[in-house]
Amino acid sequence: MKLDSLAVHAGDRKKPGEYVPVTTPIYSAASFFYPQIETLDRVFGNEIPGQNYTRYNNPTTNALEEQVAALEGGEWALACSSGMAALHLAVLLAMADRRRSVVAGKILYGATFRLLTEILEPTGVEVRFADPSDPEEFAAAVKEQRPGCVLIEAIANPLLRVAPLDTVVEIAHRHGALVVVDSTFATPLLLRPIRLGADIVIHSLTKYLAGHGDVLGGVLITREEFRGLAQGISRTMGGVLGPFEAYLAMRGIKTFPLRMARQCANACRVASWLAAHPRIERVHFPGDPQHPDAAVARRLLADNLFGAMVTFEVEEAGREEIFRLMDALKMIVPATSLGDVHSMILYPTMSSHRDLAPKHRQRMGIGDNLLRLSVGIEAPEDIIADLEQALAR
């Protein structure tokens, strides 16, 4: 089936009986039992499939996992309590039987950077950053470091650099590393990293997949061979997704391809308008022919789909001017997150990258005049009109 059909049908209606629910219901039970205790014993021993305890499995969560695995073209998926929980699990999984070392992209979400440098590095994990858009630099770092894990964002947050994922995979595998890709900004509609050889893909379900700003969750997609180890880590650490959140995410995913296609089209319109505005110093958008990764975006991303994020720099603006601009917005929501049906704007220096030292933000290219816009499904004329009146103040 095509992606649009998989989003609607995958995971549902798996167990025919006297009656079958059209959509997967919420199984809110924490525990499950069987008429014979021997059956429960065999389920605990992984001898037969089944449910026993919601920290281990839950029918609603399992349906979501099947749905997302189908979208990504993966063999198996594991739902987690947040995108960061999924990322943490993915990095631990990649290093489980390899060197405790990570080579990561230079531009990353702020919390990802902190996970590497403040949580993992103090425990003895070696961390090195390199630019995946510079294959020679990246290859040299991987060859020297010999990492167990190579970690990149398919479309980097917040500067929207598009990684040459096929090249990164070849470099990593040549030196025995597993490749973890955070594909939250790309989504399965634009890119399926597993088809390019990535070993583990993660998403923040909170963003485009669920899409309505009412779910906190994450998901990891990988091969069947990693199921046992990933489940063991997840069950012990406890960062599992609850059935209510799984239900909401699954419901949101059914309209994800429609929403994302509209958001991508809107983002193209908004990016073009911003690029022509006299107060805008620079626009970062993968669909721009002048984008440094324009050729990679055209080669790897789906036709005419460049994502729904637009990052831009306001000329000669500092914190005070940026705050004034954000306060002047009437429809676009100045809040932390992205991927919702409504447009949202974020000031990375204040929020997503707030906890990074100024020198690290400077190294990433995140200045005090930078804004990140998540374009929603509203009429593009209304998004542009709101930006226009705010920029005019």
Tell me the catalytic residues: 55, 109, 182, 207
3-class secondary-structure state, position 57: coil
- Could you give the count of Cα atoms lying within 13 Å of 209 in the half-sphere of its Cβ? 35
State whether the Cα torsion 65-66-69-71 is positive or negative: negative
CA distance 184 to 346: 17
Closest CA to 268 of 253, 283, 280: 283
Residue partners of 249: CB distance under 8 A and separation at least 6: 64, 79, 205, 209, 210, 215, 217, 241
For residues 317 and 99, give the distance between their C-alpha atoms in angstroms, rounded to a whole number: 44
Of the candidates 150, 202, 145, the residue with the CA atom closest to the CA atom of residue 178: 150
Three-state SS at 372: strand
**Which residues, other chains included, contact 136 with Cβ-Cβ below 8 Å and sequence gap of 6+?**
none
Return the amino acid letter for 45: G
SS3 of residue 183 by DSSP: coil
